[in-house]
């Protein structure tokens, strides 16, 4: 059953300023570092603006009569030292700024990444069944990387350049005349307007490139995760073609982005060249007319180069800022995904777990409103007893375990544990009280010991081995060259189905919760191992409240009660003997399986 996707929230995104506003609180956790970094940035730019002023004084000092030996020796030496000191101060304050602010940048990136990771784990099963893992992890990766780039570009480039421009305009207006400041300001306005306009037009190509990049990455990840399926159907060429289609789309978008960049760079250089010619022409005329000195001419040229050099990268910086904001917004979009299943206000921890009874009371549930799955299910698993649920595929058996774990909330009725509605208790305490051996076991790509210990992360090696022995997998592990350090591969694919299932059984036995769910727990085992494991499972379930979901009826004959589901409704219930005596659906299923078993055993 494919659950419905939750409504898209992208249409209500807050925009670039909203994204920045959401980032600032993470940075403001390090407010003293932010303030010190700002002070260092202002100091660096002040020193940088002082360099052309000292250079002017140096040139003017050299333009004196030869008889002035003191000016030729003492003054230039002092100015040269001042020139070198300002250059060094600029570099020093820039490095101090980076050093002080690094902790804030990396700390904010870590906080946001961790918040996103925790939020994704808090989202419902419905979201994770709909997700595309490759594209989602790419969004998170870009978002984290974008935080550092965004702070560097927006704060240390745009803001720093703006401070320097204001200082330079003030100096030009004060030292020379307002005409120089106006020319500089007009050129800057034209430069910024042209850059923003062209970059806004170009950003579509970058967005397309990122979309195709994510699509290619998603196809690659999905294909590699399903390596065996690709091999089964001999579809390597088909997968390569799908991947290459995305790569070709990516290449075309990148070419458009690169060609439009040439247009941007050309227009920027033209504006800079016109402004430089106008400024130098005015300064040269001033020197000829005797209104300005040769040092003023050198100062104007130095200021222009000093301002326009960083502006050469404005297009790239602006584009990167826009892209980083887009990447960060995508990660914030993940954080904004609504939790379908949330703890109720004032939810308390689940209690009374010494002997918890589980009840389903008139439970109605549907993944999709137009297709109900469960119709008024009522059943009880008495404390310390085992209740089995059997029935054909699609009857709703596994849905019971998902609802008990509260992966979804029911539409009508209630589910209680020890008399407490599971919607009124915390999800953490609820899931801590339940252990499951699922039909489809997925393992982490780590060691066997890690996967068993996942049921109890602080377990000792002795506890891990005891659980493995109970699950009848210790001898297999011990026979491996690396023993419990043997890695199981992606999703546990290095192990057989039966070995994975026994690891899952060991993991649940190690957790040792008061409530157990066995969802086709031995379906991947052969008959001999199944009988041995069943004995261990019966022992593990002794005194525990246990729900068994089974296809093989031979595994549930000792259950306190057997529930027969069909079409989301309970059609029969009773003990094994009672159901056989009724001669109904269960008896028919039992007879059919007995005949199948006899046919399989016959030569």
Nearest-CA neighbor of 120 among 332, 437, 329, 323?
Answer: 332
Give the range among 49-58, 304-313, 433-442, 566-575 with minimum mean pLDDT.
Answer: 304-313
CATH of domain 13-336: 1.20.1560.10
Helices (H), 358-414: 397-404
Query: Tens of pLDDT along 569-591?
Result: 899 999 989 999 988 888 988 88
> What is the mean pLDDT of the segment spanning 371-376?
88
Q: What is the pLDDT of residue 532?
A: 64
Query: Tens of pLDDT along 203-229?
Result: 777 777 777 887 787 788 788 877 767
Query: Tens of pLDDT along 254-308?
Result: 787 777 777 777 887 788 788 878 877 877 877 777 777 777 777 777 777 777 7
Q: Is the pLDDT of residue 344 over 50?
A: yes
The encoded tokens of residue 370 equal: 């137009």
d(CA 152, CA 162): 14
Break the chain into its structural domains and give their ranges: 13-336, 350-433+513-603, 444-511
d(CA 252, CA 89): 46
Q: Is the pLDDT of residue 413 over 50?
A: yes
d(CA 495, CA 492): 6
Q: Is the pLDDT of residue 360 over 90?
A: yes
The encoded tokens of residue 336 equal: 């904004």
Q: Is the pLDDT of residue 68 over 70?
A: no
d(CA 282, CA 285): 5
Q: Tokens 């690169």, residue?
A: 258
Contact 214, 134 (CB under 8 A): yes
CATH of 350-433+513-603, one of 3.40.50.300, 3.30.70.270, 3.30.70.600, 2.70.98.10: 3.40.50.300
> What is the mean pLDDT of the segment spanning 180-206?
80
Q: Is the pLDDT of residue 171 over 80?
A: no
Nearest-CA neighbor of 421 among 401, 406, 400?
Answer: 406
> What is the mean pLDDT of the segment spanning 29-53?
81
Q: What is the pLDDT of residue 11?
A: 42
Query: Tens of pLDDT along 72-123?
Result: 555 566 667 777 777 788 788 878 887 888 788 777 778 777 877 777 777 7
d(CA 10, CA 77): 63
Which residues make beta-bridge pairs with 434?
A: 515
Query: Tens of pLDDT along 346-359?
Result: 889 988 888 799 99
> Strands 412-417 and 358-365, how do they pair?
antiparallel
Q: What is the pLDDT of residue 249?
A: 83
Q: Which of 32-36, 276-280, 328-332 has the highest mean pLDDT?
A: 32-36
Q: What is the strand order of the sheet 420-421 is part of?
A: 374-381, 358-365, 412-417, 420-421
d(CA 455, CA 168): 65
């Amino acid at each position: 059953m494919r659950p419905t996707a939750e409504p898209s929230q992208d249409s209500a995104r807050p925009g670039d300023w909203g994204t920045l506003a959401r980032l600032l609180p993470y940075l403001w956790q390090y407010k003293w570092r932010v303030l010190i970094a700002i002070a260092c940035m202002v100091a660096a730019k002040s020193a940088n603006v002082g360099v052309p002023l000292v250079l002017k004084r140096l040139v003017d000092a050299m333009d004196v009569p030869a008889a002035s030996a003191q000016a030729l020796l003492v003054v230039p030496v002092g100015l040269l030292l001042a020139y070198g000191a300002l250059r060094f101060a600029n570099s020093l304050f820039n490095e101090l700024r980076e050093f002080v602010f690094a902790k804030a940048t990396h700390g904010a990136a870590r906080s946001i990444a961790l918040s996103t990771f925790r939020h994704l784990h808090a989202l419902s099963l419905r979201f994770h069944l709909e997700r595309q893992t490759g594209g989602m992890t790419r969004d998170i990766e870009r978002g984290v990387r974008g935080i550092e780039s965004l702070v560097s570009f927006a704060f240390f480039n745009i803001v720093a350049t703006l401070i320097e421009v204001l200082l330079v305009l003030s100096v030009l207006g004060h030292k020379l005349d307002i005409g120089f400041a106006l020319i500089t300001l007009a050129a800057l306005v034209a430069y910024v307007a042209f850059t923003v306009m062209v970059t806004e037009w170009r950003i579509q190509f970058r967005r397309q490139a990122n979309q195709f990049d994510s699509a290619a990455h998603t196809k690659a990840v999905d294909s590699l995760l399903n390596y065996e399926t690709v091999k089964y159907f001999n579809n390597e060429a088909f997968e390569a073609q799908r991947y290459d289609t995305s790569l070709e789309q990516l290449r075309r978008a990148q070419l458009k982005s690169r060609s439009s960049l040439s247009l941007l760079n050309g227009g920027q250089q033209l504006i800079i060249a016109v402004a430089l010619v106008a400024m130098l022409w005015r300064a040269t005329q001033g020197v000829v007319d005797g209104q300005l000195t040769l040092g003023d001419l050198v100062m104007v040229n130095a200021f222009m180069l000093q301002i326009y050099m960083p502006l050469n990268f404005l297009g790239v910086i602006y584009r990167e800022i826009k892209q980083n904001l887009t990447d960060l917004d995508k990660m914030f979009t993940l954080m904004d995904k609504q939790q379908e299943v949330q703890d109720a206000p004032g939810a308390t921890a689940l209690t009374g777990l010494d002997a918890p009874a589980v009840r389903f009371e008139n439970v109605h549930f549907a993944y999709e409103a137009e297709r109900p799955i469960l119709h008024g299910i009522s059943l009880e698993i008495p404390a310390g007893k085992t209740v089995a649920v059997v029935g054909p595929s699609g009857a709703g058996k596994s849905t019971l375990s998902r609802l008990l774990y509260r992966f979804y909330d029911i539409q009508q009725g209630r589910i209680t544990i020890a008399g407490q509605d599971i919607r009124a208790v915390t999800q953490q305490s609820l899931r801590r009280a339940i252990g499951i051996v699922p039909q489809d076991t997925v393992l982490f790509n780590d060691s066997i010991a890690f996967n068993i210990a996942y049921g109890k992360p602080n377990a000792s090696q002795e506890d891990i081995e005891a659980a493995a022995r109970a699950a009848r997998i210790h001898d297999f592990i011990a026979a491996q060259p690396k023993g419990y350090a043997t890695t199981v591969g992606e999703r546990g694919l290095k192990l057989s189905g039966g070995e994975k299932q026994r690891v899952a059984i060991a993991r649940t036995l190690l957790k040792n919760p008061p409530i157990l769910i066995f969802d086709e727990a031995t379906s991947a085992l052969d008959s001999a191992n199944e009988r041995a494991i069943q004995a261990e499972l019966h022992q593990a379930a002794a005194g525990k409240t246990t729900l068994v979901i089974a296809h093989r009826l031979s595994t549930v004959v000792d259950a306190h009660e057997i529930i027969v589901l069909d079409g989301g409704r309970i059609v029969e219930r009773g003990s094994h003997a009672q159901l056989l005596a009724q001669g109904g659906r269960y008896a028919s299923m039992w007879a059919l399986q007995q005949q199948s078993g006899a046919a399989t055993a016959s030569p």
